[in-house]
Chains A and B, each alone.
Chain A
Amino acid sequence: MKHILAVTRKEFLHILRDRSTLFLVLFTPTLLLLFFAYSLTVDIQHVEIAVLDYDRSAASRAFVQQITAGDDLDLYAQVTSFEELDRLLLEGKIKAALIIAPDFSESLMTLRGTPLQVLIDGTEPESGSFAVDHIARRAEAFVTETLGAQLEARGLSAASLEPLDIRVRAWFNPSLKPRNDLVPGLISMVLGMPALSVALAIAHEREHGTLEQLMATPIGRAELLIGKIIPYLLVGLFNVVLMPALAIALFHISLNGSFLLFFALSAVFLFAILSMGVLIGVFMRTQAAALALSFLLIFYPGFFLTGIFFPLASMPEVVRLEAMFLPGTPYATITRGIFLPAVGIDVLWPYVVMLLFQAVVFTAVAALFFRKKLA
């Protein structure tokens, strides 16, 4: 116990004395959270489009005016030839183009269906499909409105034209702001960063020869490893408090579940992911190798395998199996569960068991392979 404290104190002094290390270790998870949350959830607005109007009728002009009215689509240019459209798309000046057929107004009035063509820049499908959705939605409204006016003028009821009204209601995230669901997921990803620090700290000692010196002392293997973990566990817990606070203050996200439960389960997650970091530090000879492997095993899987961005259900069996061994997977479920539907331990316990199992396996393997020998 005394040895563990000695190692922990030494490690703390080391982190505290070096300003840049202190800053990086302390704030990396939170900074990453802010960075990702802002960059991934900015709403698409002001998509530049061009219009090629072959019809040039009052109806087509009204239609163009309507779709470009709000902040969503901006009319970059009205063009007169397809070549011009093509050039603007190629040059990246516009993300989408709308082509209105010559018989637009005629078709509209005679109820023959109104063909519209939208071209999008496939290199930026996000903006493009946003434009398509927007135009389609507006087109529907426009048609209903115009025809409704026509019908009423002829003494018919416009009610029969009411289009199908589908309302999607998202559970747990009624405003469907992407951040609500994203931020808890992101927290589970960026909280893996202290594991990177601990892997590097162990590789650093090996590289600088201080590990050789420690191996020549009577310190126990577990004492050394646990002593190394503790400071980074505390750093992680600091972020566990800071991140929800910022999420609530900056993104107006509500923590629906219990903060205490979130804190406790985050501690379990940190224990598991830090054991994984230790394992990496034990196996890798240099800091560069430790960093590369940490990215491979901690950071990238956080992105791809925890189900934050890509649903795990859509992945092959092997990958899902692999994901089960990464602490980020159960923890992503836990953070979302606590933040959104406010579930409790009665629902989350299998994930907690999974984390504990991982922590025990990683620690055991690390302690088994970390011998106090140089080769």
Chain B
Amino acid sequence: MAIIETHALTRTFKKTRAVDSLDLKVERGELFGLIGPDGAGKTTTLRLLAGLLDITEGEATVAGYDLKTRAEAIKKHIGYMAQQFSLYAELTVLENLHFFAEIYDVPPAELAGRTERLLAFAGLTEFKHRRAAHLSGGMQKKLALACTLIHEPEILLLDEPTTGVDPVSRREFWNILTDLHLQGTTIIVSTPYMDEADRCSRVGLMYAGKLVACDSPRALRERLNADVVEVHPADWRAARRVIAALDGVRQVQTYGEALHVLVDHGERRLREITRALKKASITVHSIRLAPPRMEETFIAMIQALTSSPDHPTT
């Protein structure tokens, strides 16, 4: 049985359907990424799964408990980290951990061992007597994660845990998540970063409260049915104009002085682009085919959704 399962899960705020008939199934041990534009309903979904919001319609079970009737029972089994997670700033790292340990009824005999492990895990051992207010943003996020892990939950619900954190801390944070994933913890994480989505075992794309695509990152990329042509022209401004006017070009992104062109058919369009640039007498330093990354996949999917009024489930 899936550890998280929802059927037509709906939550409305006044007239907005923040989550709209969501059918989601997450198996035990998955690292599930929730992506989508701002306002797509990711945060509401995570809050519903954490039992922090009432369900308007539909059903959901988390860790075998019905979310409608047993929302309190779920809380022992989950670790939830809110988007604006803020710790008790005046408490030290250790005091924060111990506070949550007491709230979660961690057996006193295990407390010392767990605290030790988590501190080492989060790289906070040498800062354990520092007040949370005086930690860097990245360290605060890691401490927050450690606090949600103190009771060794089966399920982790993380709402954009790395937003606003520098790349090195972000990498460290994800290394921790990968370790937890390997240990068998089920993780649902929402993220605005596509490189993070690429590290998930499965990704769900939310749009206007609905789950519009749900698959492994690789399958999503392949399903996009597109290739990327990477061009490094001498005059990228002129090249951009020429390329954008060609057939089969879905979008052109600028990366410094290089262009990433999303096309429907790699081999054929690469030849056409080369020809067109030559005709316009624009020198090309290099041109090559590349697989689309999650970023292009995401943008292409969202563009497809915004241009058609009824959401296709590609």
Contact = CB atoms under 8 A, between A and B. Distances in A.
Contact of A213 (B53, B72, B82): B82
Contacts of B99: 6, 9-10
Contact of B51 (A2, A210, A216): A216
Interface stretch (A11-19, A156-164, A173-181, A286-294): A11-19
Nearest to A212: B82
Given A2-B102, A216-B75, A217-B103, A209 B52 contact: no
B228 interface: no
A116 interface: no
A218 B101 CA distance: 11
B102 A210 contact: no
Interface in B35-92: 47, 50-54, 71-72, 75-76, 78, 80-82, 84-88, 90-91
Contact of A375 (B53, B82, B86, B102): B53
A351 B16 CA distance: 50
Contacts of A5: 102
Contacts of A219: 103
Interface string B128-168: 00010000000000000001000000000000000000000
Contact of A216 (B52, B91, B105): B52
Interface in B211-264: none
A217 B106 CA distance: 12
Contacts, number: 72
B102 A3 contact: yes
Given A14-B88, A217-B100, A2 B105 contact: yes
Contact of B54 (A3, A17, A373): A373
B104 interface: yes
A212 B91 contact: no
A354 interface: no
Contact of B103 (A6, A14, A17, A208): A6
Nearest to A3: B103
Interface residues of B, number: 31
A126 to B, nearest CB: 46
A372 interface: yes
A374 B159 CA distance: 15
Interface in B92-139: 95, 99-100, 102-105, 131
Contact of B91 (A2, A10, A218): A10
A215 interface: yes
B91 A13 contact: yes
Interface in A347-375: 372-375
A214 interface: yes
Interface string B280-307: 0000000000000000000000000000
B52 A373 contact: yes
Interface in A9-58: 9-10, 13-14, 17-18
Contacts of B52: 212, 215-216, 372-374
A218 B103 contact: yes
B85 to A, nearest CB: 6
Interface of B is mostly: loop
Contacts of B87: 210
A218 B104 contact: yes
A13 B89 CA distance: 11
A110 B136 CA distance: 94
Interface string A197-233: 0000000000011101111111100000000000000
Contacts of B95: 10, 13
Given A373-B53, A373-B54, A375-B53, A210 B90 contact: no
A208 to B, nearest CB: 5
Contacts of B100: 217
B103 A210 contact: no
Q: Which of B47, B51, B103 has the most CB of A within 10 A?
A: B103
Contacts of B88: 10, 13-14, 210
A179 B13 CA distance: 55
Q: Which of A10, A18, A374 has the most CB of B within 10 A?
A: A10
B102 A218 contact: no
Nearest to A5: B102
Nearest to B102: A6
Contacts of B86: 208-210
A374 B53 contact: yes
Nearest to A216: B80
Contacts of B71: 372
B85 A209 contact: yes
B244 to A, nearest CB: 43
A372 B147 CA distance: 19
A217 B104 contact: yes
B90 A209 contact: no
A222 to B, nearest CB: 13
23 contacts: A2-B102, A3-B102, A5-B102, A10-B91, A10-B95, A13-B90, A14-B88, A17-B90, A18-B90, A208-B86, A209-B84, A210-B86, A213-B82, A213-B85, A213-B147, A216-B52, A217-B104, A218-B72, A218-B75, A218-B104, A372-B52, A373-B52, A374-B52
Closest 3 CB pairs of A and B: A6-B102, A216-B80, A17-B90
Given A6-B103, A13-B88, 20 more contacts: A2-B105, A6-B102, A10-B88, A10-B91, A10-B95, A10-B99, A14-B88, A14-B91, A208-B84, A209-B82, A209-B85, A216-B75, A216-B82, A217-B75, A217-B104, A218-B75, A372-B52, A372-B72, A373-B52, A375-B13
Interface of B: 13, 47, 50-54, 71-72, 75-76, 78, 80-82, 84-88, 90-91, 95, 99-100, 102-105, 131, 147
